[in-house]
Amino acid sequence: MLETAARARRDLDLRRAFFSAFRPIERTPFADRPAEDPLRELRLYQADFMLRDYGFTVDELPFDAHGLLPHDTTPKQAWAKRHLLEPIAINRAPRRLLLRIPGIRPRAADRIIAVRRETRLRDLAQLSRLGVVVAWAAPYELLDGQRPPGQSSLW
């Protein structure tokens, strides 16, 4: 589904894909099938946002051996756990790399870039004011060359 949505976005100028978790309907051939967990629908939207707004490709998405997205965490967090092995320097990272950090959305990345032209970002409170979800981002970032106080390790 995500590959089809990405192709339609690229080739047909699709602006937005919509997903719906399966729910059986009485008197249809699939009436006896179990309903899909609504959380799967949420994960599809999150993965689609990664493709549309964050510069990821379908090949980068964190599918499991069965081709499903993680159930217990967001796809972006799952990707980061696998690929962001070193913290990212917030004061020097390009936008495309900032967007790979969980908790940093496109608008927050743009704000970070604008603010760091005038000052160095030194603490989590500054990032929070810029729209970063610091609880998700902190393990993957360096502020002014150092880990934020109280930041949990990547390992």
Same domain flag for 110 and 124 = yes
Same domain flag for 14 and 78 = yes
Same domain flag for 7 and 78 = yes
pLDDT of residue 155: 44
pLDDT of residue 154: 53
Domain that holds residue 54: 2-23+32-82
Same domain flag for 50 and 89 = no
Number of domain units in the chain? 2
On the question of pLDDT at 7 being above 80, the answer is yes
Same domain flag for 111 and 122 = yes
On the question of pLDDT at 128 being above 90, the answer is yes
pLDDT of residue 144: 77
On the question of pLDDT at 62 being above 70, the answer is yes
Same domain flag for 75 and 6 = yes
Same domain flag for 90 and 77 = no
Averaged pLDDT of the chain: 91
Same domain flag for 91 and 74 = no
Neighbours of 15 (CB within 10 A): 8
Overall average pLDDT of the 118-147 stretch: 90
pLDDT of residue 146: 74
Tokens of 6: 């990405």
Q: What is the tens place of the pLDDT at every residue in 80-117? A: 999 999 999 999 999 999 999 999 999 999 999 999 99
CA distance 33 to 147: 49
Same domain flag for 64 and 135 = no
Residues 6+ apart with CB under 8 A from 55: 96, 99
